[in-house]
A and B are shown apart, each in its own frame.
Chain A
């Protein structure tokens, strides 16, 4: 069964410091992975997806198949980055096409 693990529920950094939000997955096929962000009590927004290899708001994430990881990184955190971050894996096969499996989420707090 597919699984997404975000080992840190809470992560605190100071403004300007580097930040890394960890995500590990287990999936038998070729994974499609995403990072979503949820600002305070708002809707989830797609931050980035691994297949596009883009950088959004300074965040990047590299898929490491050997370590089954998809960690989210930003070299210099900003206060407005404070939010809940979810790593998600897409089940693109069978009858569950399009179903996302989410990690538990990491609350990032960036202190001034």
Chain B
């Protein structure tokens, strides 16, 4: 079991471009969570998804950010028209939803230049 896989590890985008961050949960996990770690700040919850459903997106910025977790394939966090303030580490975690057993990925570090 390869654990939670996030790619790419590092992503550089120019202002105005789109960023796509991928997260493949652990085998058997159907719950995916995205968190953002801004410089000098802690981890902030963004969105919680189950297969084909967004359960809680209370931490997502209202504009430019979207997330999906399709029936097949990884979960995608999409940031349109990136700005410098989007530069951060984005972590994905998955769980089976049974025993609070979260597993985190290694994160994607997004740099907007």
Contacts and interface: CB of A to CB of B under 8 A. Distances in A.
B11 to A, nearest CB: 15
Contacts of B100: 32, 34, 49, 90, 92, 98
A99 B59 CA distance: 11
Interface string A70-107: 00000000000000001000101001111111111100
B105 interface: yes
Interface majority SS (helix, strand, loop, mixed), chain B: strand
A44 interface: yes
A64 interface: no
A95 B107 contact: no
A40 interface: no
What interface size band does chain A fall in?
20 to 34
A30 interface: no
- Interface core residue of B31, B45, B100 (most chain A CB under 10 Å): B100
A32 B95 CA distance: 16
A95 B55 contact: yes
A45 B45 contact: no
- Interface core residue of B31, B41, B56, B97 (most chain A CB under 10 Å): B56
A99 B107 contact: no
A11 interface: no
Nearest to A103: B42
B91 A44 contact: yes
A101 B45 contact: yes
A56 interface: no
A32 B102 CA distance: 13
A45 B102 CA distance: 9
A90 B41 CA distance: 19
Interface string B85-105: 000000101010100101011
Interface of B: 4, 31, 33, 35, 41-45, 48, 55-56, 58, 91, 93, 95, 97, 100, 102, 104-107
21 contacts: A6-B42, A32-B100, A36-B104, A43-B4, A44-B43, A45-B104, A86-B42, A86-B43, A96-B48, A97-B55, A98-B33, A98-B100, A99-B45, A100-B45, A101-B45, A102-B42, A102-B43, A104-B41, A104-B42, A105-B42, A105-B43
